[in-house]
Amino acid sequence: MSVAGRLDTLTGEIVATGDLCPADRAQMFELMHRYYENVNEVAFGRDLGEKDWVIVARCAATGGVRGFSTQKLIEASAGRRILFSGDTIVEQAYWGRNPIAEHWGRLAIRLHLQAPERELLWYLISKGYKTYRLLPTYFAEFHPRFDTPTPRWALDLLAELGHARYPGRYDADGGIVRARPCDERLRPLVAPVEGRHRNDPHVRFFERRNPGHAAGDELCCLAPMRPDNLTAAALDLLSGGV
């Protein structure tokens, strides 16, 4: 936060995980610890090490980390490529006005252009409704959702990814990665459902489908990352940088 309570201007960048400096890693861990319970530095470093990139939101003046999102490209069955978004957190003051989504879109476009003939999908696991709400904001088709049954191809792919990444923890019936007592979870009162969000059918669906989210359960989701599946909001977000 800058002088007189004004928010710092943030810049964004996509960094290969191996290029992160120790100071960046320390600030990322501090952010996670501030907003999540049960954050373990060893487990955090291990999880970070298996990701390919980190989208970092920095203070333009100081370079300090104000938010980040880890990303990994997964090769799946039938020649599919999967962009998996892992740990994601932004300082609360910058919710709704940070560059992470824009740079995530740039990464997705880069991956699509590398192999346009291959199907690319977003694999998102969500502990909170704000994360799940990104799906209807940026994609016309995504699964699961309140108004359309999840098709068989998506159920099968979710099961493939869930069992591979979370053996013994993926509940195929609910499409949920079940939390263990030691797993990370949002601290109480971080992003509670309130106000207009209580009438949002997507938010109501998320709470109904993942009733254990406050304890760390994560709803597994997929969205095809075809250009014709982007919403007007997604196109508007990307238009400034592409």
For 161, the domain range is 3-239
Q: What CA–CA distance (Å, rounded) separates 39 from 151?
A: 35
- The per-residue pLDDT for 186 is 83
Find the CATH number of the domain harbouring 157. 3.40.630.30
pLDDT single digits (tens) 20-30: 999 999 999 99
DSSP 132-189: HTHHHHHBSS-BSBTTBPPPHHHHHHHHHHHHHHSTTTEETTTTEEPPPTTS-EEPTT
Determine what percent of the chain is predicted with pLDDT higher than 90.
79
Asked if pLDDT for residue 228 goes beyond 70, the answer is yes
The tens digit of pLDDT for each residue in 26-46 reads: 999 999 999 999 999 999 999
The single-letter DSSP state of residue 98 is -
Q: Which two tokens stand for residue 166?
A: 């979370």
What does the block give as tokens for 60? 């333009």
